[in-house]
Amino acid sequence: MKKYIYTLAAVAVLSFAQSCKKDSEFLDKKPTSTLAVDAVWKDPNLVLSVLGDLYDTFPDFQRTESWWLFADFDEGFASAGGDYFRHQNIDYSYDSWNYWDYGYIRQLNLFLKRGEEATELAAADKARLIAEARFIRAGVYFEMVKRMGGVPIITVPLEYDYSGNPEYLQFPRAKESEVYDFVIAELEAIKTILPDDAGQKARATKGAALAMETRAALYAASSAKYGYSQLSLPGGEVGIPASAASGYYTKALNAAKELINGGKYSLYTKNPNLSENFASLFTDKANNPEVIFVKDYKLKTNRTHGFTIDNQPRSSAEEAQGGRLNPSLNLVQSFEKLDNTYASLASVDGSGNTVYYTNIGDIFAGRDARLAGTVILPGSQFKSKTVDIWAGYQLGDGSIVTGNAFAQTRDNVLPGITGSVQVVGGDGPVDGLEFSAQSGFYVRKYLDPAPGSGQIGTRSEVWWVRYRYAEVLLNAAEAAFELGDAATAAQYMKPVRDRAGLTTALTAANISFDRIVHERKVELAFEGHELWDMKRWRIADKVWNGSNMSTTDFVNATNIGSATRTSTQVFGLWPYKYYNPGNVNNGKYIFKVIKPSRVTAAHRFRLGNYYSMIPQGVLNGNPKIVRNPNQ
Amino acid sequence: MKNSKYFIIAAFVVLFLSSCKKDNYDAPAADFTGRIVYRGEAIPVEFDQVPFELWQSGFGNNSAIRVSVAQDGSFSAKLFDGNYRLVFSENQGPFLWRKNSAGRQDSIALNISGSKVMDIEVTPYYMIRTPVFAVAAGKVNASCKLEKIITDAANGKSIEKVTLYTNKTQFVDGNNNNGIQELSGTAIADLNNLSMSVNIPTMVPAQNYVFARIAVKIAGVDDLLFTQVTKLSF
């Protein structure tokens, strides 16, 4: 009993002693899991980790972490059960792609304010860190203006005074042109502070600032040049006057020139095989001279992604999945022939007769090398394994023998052969079978060739390239062309096309708006450019116009090079083996243009989609914000 | 034991009775119906593409009630009694909507107390006059005239294309059709003499009728102007 009393007494003493602490001390305990602001701003490494967090949320619309977004338009088909709806919705919702992230802007503004106030950092460190945050902020404003039009420009952290009247925190939208001007001016101001170092890819550099500047100026310029009255608001929140176009084009050209003439970057040409070279441009992280600014990943951390798991060829996959993103025939046929002409893939000849090919890959021969670098074609290889894409046998009487599972075998189905025979490829295509190449193709760009990249336990560390040198060249070409200097435009385009094996140089007379559009489409496919390019040229509503397409649009088409060619539904091209013993064509391959049965709706991009809808909550919170047009 | 049984039964009775109490608002009861019209004539549009908004203030955060106009130009909504403002968003529908002095879309005050029928007057860019549909030799032949209603230079718009659509169901538009013929705006010489024809495709299962309408796409306007759906037997 006595023992218990002692114990109780001890507990009582301890707890009383505890409560004898001053209340203020009790409440002012230093947290052990976070660092105070003033503690951080003494050490550049700690500040860098704060900045790293800010880099981490840098906005992208499409990225390798979300392969399905590439299937929302006409670049690819989504071969996965939960994603067929992407081909079954007609309209894009007005609030698609909206982006209104003032929480992020506030974090950046706070960072900048604390940076300005910090006294214990070396001047050079401090200047660079602040410049990087301004780079990110410019990127966020650029992202907002390209999606929403003009937005309020907030450059200081705002504080509420709890007076009950928030009116002084409510800012109206700036003009669209003012936001672009702000972005360009910020980038101009920081480009000399940032290191001019092509080895830095994941942090802001002078090259990254210039690359962003040229893109932003180009977007502003083309929005101005191709804008029209429906796409404008009386206050200029949306719509830039056409008279401003040439000023922006000049800025775009000058920024691009400065980067090009700086000589720090060049096109990636390490591999003499042009297609392989183009594929490894995105996956080679060692001394890559072309890549300017990336979102980087690292194996054995939680910063990895599953793009290769999702999209590896099913037959040689390292998991029982893959093959989700299937490039469309719409994209594949856009890759021109080596003589700079456009042509449909010749499944039939000019008079409509079936063409027979000895090798499955022959139909793709003589095309732009970027095709095989962007797309895994039937008969080509990934990780040294040949993909097995063929849809079945066609017999002499025209009937088809095929299956409904990967590499299915069936008994006694071919005349003259008893026993079992494989009737469909290990990668399909089988209509409606997820992970099979339902368009006849698999995606190659960004697919990681490293062993294990297709395993759930390993994943991939291939970076996501936000800015690269070839885009800067194409920006320069477009700006020069729009300024009336087609000869210079041809000059800037030449190295990009040379690398693709298109060695017959385009002359100044060959350069047209359609050419510019086409070049960006094939060079920058699956890099998150398509939607924004279509928007800024104001051709999205013409290309995605809601009319149905048919296979005749893909047979001997004459308008492949047209920027406004309708492309509302994704189509595919399926190879078949021709089985007709005794016939001269026995064992050869034929091709059929197909529309995957899951593609049921034709995309329609409405005028109200050019600028995304501002969320109703924002409008309710700030009556000074005006709505976007046409919604 | 028996007591507790009664007690439990009583508890259940009380529970059920209390949950019979009204604990929520009445469902909206007033029907608001009508058509969008130009001088008394309904303006047919595409299914679920032309909405107007009803705004009611005084209940915290604003958000619009979206009312979609049907193919034949009619609409209907179930509403609570109260005061609303009715407005078409800018560039919705193949017509112009009144602007206020600030150049914004003007709104109409709408008082709902009990059901209400109201036609909404709008000014279309064009009207399709005297559409005629006929079936002959496996084809749908159609003709019509177009009257340009808004003729002033500031607001008037040209025609991008005129299209004849057919379909096997009564939903007939750019996405739901089995036959199309287009006349591009530049190819139209005379607005008073437009004719088109579409071959009737084989339909599975077979049916001896099709639905047809003519649509006018006005340059720079998303929504198409239609004729009423016509059922054609053959």
What does the pLDDT look like over B132-164, one tens digit per residue? 999 988 899 999 999 999 988 888 889 988 999
Which of A234, A607, A619 minimises the CB distance to B222? A607
- Last residue of one domain, picked from the residues B123, B141, B175: B123
The whole-angstrom separation of Cα A409 and Cα A420 is 6
pLDDT category at B17 given cuts 50, 70, 90 is low
Q: Do B174 and A547 lie within an 8 Å CB cutoff?
A: yes
**Judgement on whether residues A87 and A123 belong to the same structural domain of the protein:** no
Left (φ > 0), alpha (ψ -120 to 50) or beta: where does A354 sit?
Answer: beta
Q: Do A548 and B175 lie within an 8 Å CB cutoff?
A: yes
Query: B83 - beta bridge partners?
Result: B111
Q: Does B48 touch chain A (CB under 8 A)?
A: no
Alpha-carbon Rg of chain B, whole angstroms? 25
**Judgement on whether residues A132 and A230 belong to the same structural domain of the protein:** yes
**pLDDT at residue number A15:** 66
**Judgement on whether residues B108 and B47 belong to the same structural domain of the protein:** yes
Closest-CA residue of B relative to A90 is B175
Query: B165 - beta bridge partners?
Result: B180, B213
Q: Do A617 and B61 lie within an 8 Å CB cutoff?
A: yes
**Judgement on whether residues B163 and B119 belong to the same structural domain of the protein:** no
- Last residue of one domain, picked from the residues B123, B152, B182: B123
Q: Do the domain assignments include residue B10?
A: no
pLDDT beyond 70 at A341: yes
pLDDT beyond 60 at A568: yes
Which of A90, A548, A629 minimises the CB distance to B91? A629
Q: DSSP labels for A363-386?
A: GGTTB-THHHHHEE-TT-EETTEE
The whole-angstrom separation of Cα A22 and Cα A11 is 20
**pLDDT at residue number A13:** 66
Q: Please state the domain count of chain A.
A: 2
Q: Do A630 and B89 lie within an 8 Å CB cutoff?
A: yes
CA A277 to chain centre: 20
Q: Do the domain assignments include residue A607?
A: yes
**Judgement on whether residues A260 and A327 belong to the same structural domain of the protein:** no
**pLDDT at residue number B21:** 55
Question: In whole angstroms, how far apart are CA A254 and each of A195, A438, A470?
Answer: 19, 44, 16
Distance from CA of B47 to the nearest CA of A (A): 12
The fraction of chain A above a pLDDT of 70, given in percent, is 98
Q: What share of chain A is helix, strand, coil (3-state, %, to 5)?
A: 40, 10, 50
Q: Do the domain assignments include residue A40?
A: no
Among B49, B52, B96, B175, pick the best mutation site for testing chain A contact (most A Cβ within 10 A).
Answer: B175
**Judgement on whether residues B117 and B196 belong to the same structural domain of the protein:** no
Distance from CA of A605 to the nearest CA of B (A): 9
- Locate the DSSP E strands across A469-581: 572-579
Q: Do the domain assignments include residue A46?
A: no
Identify the domain containing residue A382 by its residue range: 66-94+318-449+539-599
Q: Enter the tokens of residue B175.
A: 């996405």
Q: Enter the tokens of residue A402.
A: 């095929």
Q: Enter the tokens of residue A535.
A: 């928007």
Q: Of A592, A594, A610, which Cα lies nearest the Cα of A549?
A: A594
**pLDDT at residue number B23:** 63
Indicate the DSSP class of residue B73: S
Q: What are phi and psi of A19, to 5 degrees?
A: -75, -5
Q: Do A230 and B175 lie within an 8 Å CB cutoff?
A: no
Q: Does B180 touch chain A (CB under 8 A)?
A: yes
The whole-angstrom separation of Cα A354 and Cα A333 is 18
Closest-CA residue of A relative to B59 is A620
**Chain B residues in contact with A547 (beta carbon < 8 A):** 174, 180
Closest-CA residue of B relative to A547 is B174
Averaged pLDDT score across all residues of chain B: 87
Task: Provide the CATH number for the domain around residue A629.
Answer: 1.25.40.390
**Judgement on whether residues B132 and B225 belong to the same structural domain of the protein:** yes
**Judgement on whether residues B76 and B38 belong to the same structural domain of the protein:** yes
Q: What is the average pLDDT across A572-601? A: 94
**pLDDT at residue number A21:** 62
**Judgement on whether residues A416 and A352 belong to the same structural domain of the protein:** yes
**Judgement on whether residues B132 and B47 belong to the same structural domain of the protein:** no
Averaged pLDDT score across all residues of chain A: 92
**Judgement on whether residues B57 and B144 belong to the same structural domain of the protein:** no
pLDDT beyond 80 at A277: yes
Q: Does B219 touch chain A (CB under 8 A)?
A: no
**Judgement on whether residues B57 and B90 belong to the same structural domain of the protein:** yes
The whole-angstrom separation of Cα B33 and Cα A206 is 62
**Judgement on whether residues A474 and A588 belong to the same structural domain of the protein:** no
What amino acid occupies position B113? S
Q: Do the domain assignments include residue A356?
A: yes
**Judgement on whether residues B74 and B146 belong to the same structural domain of the protein:** no
Q: Are A248 and A217 in contact (CB under 8 A)?
A: yes
Query: pLDDT tens digits, residue range B25-76?
Result: 778 889 999 999 999 999 999 988 899 999 988 777 778 889 999 999 999 9
Q: Of A542, A514, A536, which Cα lies nearest the Cα of A240?
A: A536
Q: What is the average pLDDT across A158-183? A: 94
Which of B61, B90, B222 minimises the CB distance to A606? B222
pLDDT category at A406 given cuts 50, 70, 90 is very high
Q: Please state the domain count of chain B.
A: 2
Coil, helix or strand at residue A584: coil
Closest-CA residue of B relative to A550 is B178
pLDDT category at A262 given cuts 50, 70, 90 is very high
Identify the domain containing residue B52 by its residue range: 30-123
Q: Of A402, A399, A439, A440, which Cα lies nearest the Cα of A422?
A: A402
- Last residue of one domain, picked from the residues B107, B123, B139: B123
**Judgement on whether residues B129 and B119 belong to the same structural domain of the protein:** no
- Locate the DSSP E strands across A580-628: 589-594
pLDDT category at B90 given cuts 50, 70, 90 is confident
Coil, helix or strand at residue A602: coil
**Judgement on whether residues B142 and B200 belong to the same structural domain of the protein:** yes
Q: Do the domain assignments include residue A329?
A: yes
pLDDT beyond 70 at A18: no
Peptide bond between residue B205 and the one before it cis (omega within 30 degrees of 0): yes
**pLDDT at residue number A39:** 86
The whole-angstrom separation of Cα A521 and Cα A74 is 11
Closest-CA residue of A relative to B88 is A631
Lowest mean pLDDT among A31-45, A151-165, A368-382, A399-413: A31-45
Q: Enter the tokens of residue B206.
A: 């077979």
Query: pLDDT tens digits, residue range A214-260?
Result: 999 999 999 999 998 888 888 999 999 999 999 999 999 999 999 99
pLDDT beyond 60 at B20: no
Q: What is the average pLDDT across A474-488? A: 96
Residue keyed to tokens 């500031």: B154
pLDDT category at B123 given cuts 50, 70, 90 is very high
DSSP alpha helix (H) spans, A238-315? 245-262, 274-283, 307-311
Which of B61, B180, B221 minimises the CB distance to A620? B61
**Judgement on whether residues A174 and A74 belong to the same structural domain of the protein:** no
pLDDT category at A433 given cuts 50, 70, 90 is very high
* Complex prediction ipTM: 0.80
Coil, helix or strand at residue A352: coil
**Contacts of the segment A243-246: beta carbons below 8 A, 24+ positions apart:** A244/A177, A244/A220, A245/A221, A245/A482, A246/A221, A246/A482, A246/A483
Q: Are B61 and A616 in contact (CB under 8 A)?
A: yes
Q: Do the domain assignments include residue B24?
A: no
Q: What is the average pLDDT across A79-88? A: 93
**Judgement on whether residues B109 and B135 belong to the same structural domain of the protein:** no
**Judgement on whether residues A354 and A429 belong to the same structural domain of the protein:** yes
The whole-angstrom separation of Cα A58 and Cα A580 is 57
Q: Give the count of alpha carbons within 13 A of A86, CB side only.
A: 24
Q: What is the average pLDDT across B116-130? A: 92
The whole-angstrom separation of Cα A468 and Cα A473 is 9
**pLDDT at residue number A204:** 96
Q: What is the average pLDDT across A308-321? A: 92
